Amino acid sequence: DIVMTQSPDSLAVSLGERATISCKSSQTVLYSSNNKNYLAWYQQKPGQPPKLLIYWASTRGSGVPDRFSGSGSGTDFTLTISSLQAEDVAVYYCQQYYSVPNTFGQGTKLEI
């Protein structure tokens, strides 16, 4: 199974500042035949289901504000929130869908 490791486990950022979350996979999630990274990011607020933010490592989901961006390739990925808003307080998860079982990172709790 591919192990996904996020860092840090928790993060406190001031309003308007940049937040950066790292996700590393134990093996590549880059599929060479189509040059796509099989990596997604989700946001989960308390008492709510996860919400898709980013897929293919860098494509924003429907309705996701452009302050959220994803980058990276192979085994190293980053989720960046360019200017933190109060409503961004949540737990963020990365997920690989390169192989079954799909696996998630342990989550990063983002606070203000």
Partner 1 sequence: EVQLVESGGGLVQPGGSLRLSCAASGYTFSSYGINWVRQAPGKGLEWVSGVSGSGDITYYADSVKGRFTISRDNSKNTLYLQMNGLRAEDTATYYCARSISVTKPYYCDCWGQGTLVTVSS
Applying CB under 8 A, which residues contact partner 1? 1, 38, 40, 42, 44, 49-52, 55, 61-62, 93, 95, 97, 100-107
How far is 79 from 92, CA to CA, in rounded Å?
9
Contact criterion met (CB below 8 Å) for 66 and 54: no
Minimum distance of partner 1 from residue 16's CB (angstroms) = 28
Minimum distance of partner 1 from residue 5's CB (angstroms) = 12
Would you say how long the chain is, in residues? 112
C-beta of 16 vs 100, nearer to partner 1: 100
Contact criterion met (CB below 8 Å) for 106 and 10: no
Minimum distance of partner 1 from residue 18's CB (angstroms) = 24
The first and second tokens of residue 79, run together, are 């989720």
C-beta of 14 vs 62, nearer to partner 1: 62
How far is 88 from 110, CA to CA, in rounded Å?
8
Minimum distance of partner 1 from residue 102's CB (angstroms) = 4
Contact criterion met (CB below 8 Å) for 18 and 89: no
C-beta of 82 vs 104, nearer to partner 1: 104
C-beta of 19 vs 93, nearer to partner 1: 93
